Amino acid sequence: MYPCGSTALERSLMQEQFFVRYQVMKRKWQQFLPSAVQIHLNGTDAELVSAVRYFDQRETEVHQQVQDHSEEVRERLAFLELQAQILYERVSFDQEELQEAIRIINKDVPRTNRDLSYYQNEGLGNLLVLRDILITYAAFHPEVSYAQGMNDLCSRFLEVLDSEVDTFWSFSCYMEKFSRDFRADGLHRKIELEAALLKELDPQLYAHLVNDNMESFTFCHRWLLLGFQREFEHSDALRLFEILSCDHLELITQQVDRARYQERLAQKYCTEDSTELQAFNNDFTFELFICAAILLENRESLLQCRDDVQLIHFTSSLQGKLDLNSTLRKAEHHFYNYCKRCAWDFMNGCCRANRNKQEDFFYQLRSLFVLR
């Protein structure tokens, strides 16, 4: 949520700005829909009843902490609040759409994994913190609003950061890039890409799934939408989420661009006739290679599946049983082979006369895939 070039001092000042803006945003929708400030309980969920009590206590403590600031800080916060009020003054809400988003959020938040220690005992109040974050996001991002699964995604930020304000802004920044995944067209495209990648890596397995009317690859829906949250042990799922979020291995990275540049230079100096280089599909993100690695690891079982019911039952049986380190190694291996297939054969067959340039390129290409 901070600019990469910001200093520690700048981030400290930005933190105050983020805090004030979030409070103004939350207060705005609460004033617009006062009946939605508290979650409506049917009385049958004793844990949520306790969560409301913990949440109210924490809200009082936060308010008191603001009052305990020095006069200089309070004056600065008051100025920032005035700025925020001006910034969001013209923001308007669609009452019907926002109420519908809150209705879905109220159903999803209680379903967030309560087995996590973060949501147990007094931590139950964190469920209501999560609710406020999601409603504030939906209110100020009507083009995205709220979709099922966002609660699990946002919960990761909240659990790790343990800060309502930091979670809201980090989640908002993340969604700038990935909000499309929560729309039907975006996720449909991602599933199509997964099918295309599997066709590249294992045509036989792809053909089996297509021939048995499983070409939609809908069984990968939850994996890709929630970042394999349930397929790995919880701490490993958090680590994988961070790996996928940092774009470490992506076909659009500068390292791959440099490798492709060296490849084009080698082609330019090649004296023999050759075919055109096969282009990378830059839409093949690393999470697709993770998904492919899981499918290929279990290809024999998948080849025995004869319908969607068997397929979904099999993939459900993988929940919590996959080993992350092993999966990462295999995904990187498939990523490496995909790049190698696009470049290695051309270099090997056509540029033998330019051995030094070739070896230099191979060194750069190999350096992309060293396991760290």
The candidate with the shortest Cα–Cα distance to 135, out of 160, 110, 113, 102, is 102
> Rounded to an integer, what distance in angstroms lies between the CA atom of residue 137 and that of residue 139?
5
> Rounded to an integer, what distance in angstroms lies between the CA atom of residue 167 and that of residue 157?
5
pLDDT tens figures, 126-143: 999 999 999 999 999 999
Q: How many domains does the chain have?
A: 2
pLDDT tens figures, 327-345: 999 999 998 888 777 655 4
Sign (positive or negative) of CA dihedral 207, 209, 211, 217? negative
Residue 262 or 54, more confident: 54
Does the residue 1 lie in any domain?
Answer: no
Range of the domain at 74: 8-178
Sorted by sequence, the CB contacts under 8 Å of residue 257 that are 6+ apart come out as none
Tokens in use for 102? 């809150």
The chain-wide mean pLDDT, for the chain, equals 82
- Residues 188, 152, single domain; the answer is no
The type of residue at 329 is R
- Residues 225, 143, single domain; the answer is no
pLDDT the model gives residue 273? 47
**Biggest distance spanned by C-alpha atoms of the chain:** 79
- Residues 198, 174, single domain; the answer is no
Asked whether the beta carbons of 354 and 266 are under 8 A apart, the reply is yes
The type of residue at 123 is G
- Residues 197, 270, single domain; the answer is yes
pLDDT tens figures, 180-196: 888 878 778 888 889 99
- Of the residues 149, 178, 207, which one is the last residue of a structural domain? 178
pLDDT the model gives residue 267? 59
3-state SS record for the chain: CCCCCCCHHHHHHHHHHHHHHHHHHHHHHHHHCHHHCCCCCCCCCHHHHHHHHHHHHHHHHHHHHHHCCCHHHHHHHHHHHHHHHHHCCCCCCCHHHHHHHHHHHHHHHHHCCCCCHHHCHHHHHHHHHHHHHHHHHHHHCCCCCCCCCHHHHHHHHHHHHCCHHHHHHHHHHHHHHHHHHHCHHHHHHHHHHHHHHHHHHCHHHHHHHHHCCCCCCHHHHHHHHHCCCCCECHHHHHHHHHHHHCCCCCCCCHHHHHHHHHHHHHHHHCCCCCCCCCCCCCCCCHHHHHHHHHHHHCHHHHHCCCCHHHHHHHHHCCCCCECHHHHHHHHHHHHHHHHHHHHHHHHHHHCHHHHHHHHHHHHHHHHCCCCC
pLDDT the model gives residue 225? 82
- Of the residues 121, 151, 178, which one is the last residue of a structural domain? 178
Does the residue 3 lie in any domain?
Answer: no
Half-sphere exposure of 148 (CA within 13 A, CB side): 9
Q: Is the pLDDT of residue 156 over 60?
A: yes
> Rounded to an integer, what distance in angstroms lies between the CA atom of residue 274 and that of residue 294?
36
**Residue 231: count of CB within 10 angstroms of its CB:** 23
The whole-number average pLDDT for the span 348-359 is 50
Residue 275: band (very low, low, confident or very high) from pLDDT cuts 50, 70, 90: very low
**Residue 42: count of CB within 10 angstroms of its CB:** 6
Give the end-to-end CA distance of the chain in Å, rounded to a whole number: 26
- Residues 53, 192, single domain; the answer is no
> Rounded to an integer, what distance in angstroms lies between the CA atom of residue 61 and that of residue 23?
15
- Of the residues 178, 196, 227, which one is the last residue of a structural domain? 178
Residue 353: band (very low, low, confident or very high) from pLDDT cuts 50, 70, 90: very low
- Residues 125, 268, single domain; the answer is no
- Residues 167, 268, single domain; the answer is no
- Residues 33, 169, single domain; the answer is yes
